[in-house]
Structure 1
Amino acid sequence: MKFFVIGDVTVDHLYHLDRLPAPGEEVVPGRATMKPGGAGGTISVTLARLGHTVTLAARVGNDPFAEYALASVRESGVSLAAIQVDPEHLTSTITVMQTPDGQRAMISDGAANRQLDPAKLKKKDIEGADAVIVSAYSLTEGPQRDYTLKAIETAQKAKKPVPVFIDLGTGAVNKVGTDLIENVIGADYLTLNQHELLALTDTTSISAALAQLGDAGARRVVVKVGRMGSIVWTPTETELVDPIKPEGRVVDSTGAGDTFTAAFAHAVLTGQPLPQAARIANAAGALAATRVGAQARPITPADLEAALAR
């Protein structure tokens, strides 16, 4: 299958702390690492490792971090044909502070990614794909937003419409709020976590939020609910899909949601019904969390098969 992915590539600075620091406080991490990251990069790498042909649309700076941000993307065989280089803005970075009990705080800079030039979008890249996957961070602001909206429109108006998957992100929802619904509601598949769902709809319950999305025209929604697994929703059915517990200890949840989305799209396009696709995605997200770094845990079809068998 051929996927066209629109989303950020970043350099992630990860700090593992006993607790998050108070304002003005200096703390020493138990461990500090630097890894390639970004939703677009992680989704692309996961799909490529699952055996698909992938093109990633992102933008990096003309700086030393650019090559590092693209390291896993390049190594996994993702096409860099739609990668742009910005002469002024730096490669995006994210600082993640995480505690053993799962608390996280992040500092994120969209930088070069937000300058993705819509004039460089090639219509044939969209029309020749089997699916387009969009990280909602790409819909927040700047030229990248225009690029993404143009790509979605191209996919939907193609002679043979190309399915569009849109994955929300906490930062994207916090920045745009409920106005983001207008840009994501037309997706064939919408994936997001519980917090993002409630913030997107300004509701206090999952059922009310899903009802609101249904009224707005949503087709298929998958809600990631952490240790409970995921919820698959369509206008005619709602199903809770149990989590998959992988071998290995959970050490870092960075990128697990992006890995979930990639595995879900992989499963849908290989013919799996929605509940089974969500189950496969549950397994992939759980596996991703057993290594430090969003793209550190390679996931193959054999890995998913083994996890599902357990």
Structure 2
Amino acid sequence: MVHSGNAGGSLFAEGGAGTLRLLAYLAAAMILMVADHHGGHLERLRNAAGLLTGPIYRLAGTPARLARGVSGHLTAQQDMIRENSELREQLLLANARLDRLASVQVENLRLRQLLGGTRGLRLNVQLASLIDVDLDPFRHRILLDAGSRRGVSEGLAVIDADGVVGQVLAVTPMNSSVILVSDPSHAIPVQVVRTGLRAIAFGTGSVDRLEVPSIPLSADLRVGDVLETSGIGGRFPAGFKVGTIQHLHPDDTRLFVVADVQPAARLDRGGEVLLVWNAQSPDDKPMGPLPEGVIPENGVADPATPAAAGTPSDATPPPAVPDTEPSATEPSA
């Protein structure tokens, strides 16, 4: 079968007829364009077509909009999570700082109370911290972090913010052992603040009770009377509170009265104590470093003074106490 040129049904066939058709179509197109330009007849058609194609375009763009929305939501959520984490860390840090400030405030108050116990007295003081407790039920001892290297010597009185705690019993270069007033082998000279009556208070082995025996029946003594150190014996400076009389009862012989005393010091609590001794002259300086910012009553402390320069002159063992008012001694084996 022979193929000849274009098919008879072609729009622009070769030859004169095809050319005429092309020219006719071009002329018709030009006429339509001029008519649309002047009359705007196709504008309504284009608007109608736009109404039909608009939803199709929006539907086609929906996945992209959803993707952008999800991405923005996830980004915002991650930012919020990160910001929440940062705020939580800042809150924890702020709470930690507040707790630390509260602890410092309590410590400052406790130190002020400790030093307040020596206000108005011509005394030297040495601050020490408790580092150990003797749990032996028959011995009441505590261990302090101040020793001979800081000028501590045996016999120094130990107090807290409320009253007398005990006295230094043994000293090592770094630490010192303190016997509490509640120890059964301890005795301390006291006097009644109200009447001036002198006596000896003994430890009973209980941290909440001391005992003052051999009080004459004629003595003016009442429940609630306050006992303080009398200064006799040289171990304890006078004027420190020892305890309060809680109960009075006759002894076994019915010839004397025995007073049960509630210790003033917090013997089973607290973490800091003061070592105190009488100042021999206004120029005396305290042994070892004082707390920062603390000025003793007898002048300005000199932190640069080495402790090895020697113990104060009044740290030597005091003269023997009369048998009627013995000082504390270590129990014999």
Smaller-chain TM-score range? Answer: under 0.3
Which one has a bigger Cα radius of gyration?
2
Q: TM-score w.r.t. structure 1 length?
A: 0.23
TM-score normalised by length of structure 2: 0.22
- From the two aligned structures, give the one with the greater helix fraction: 1
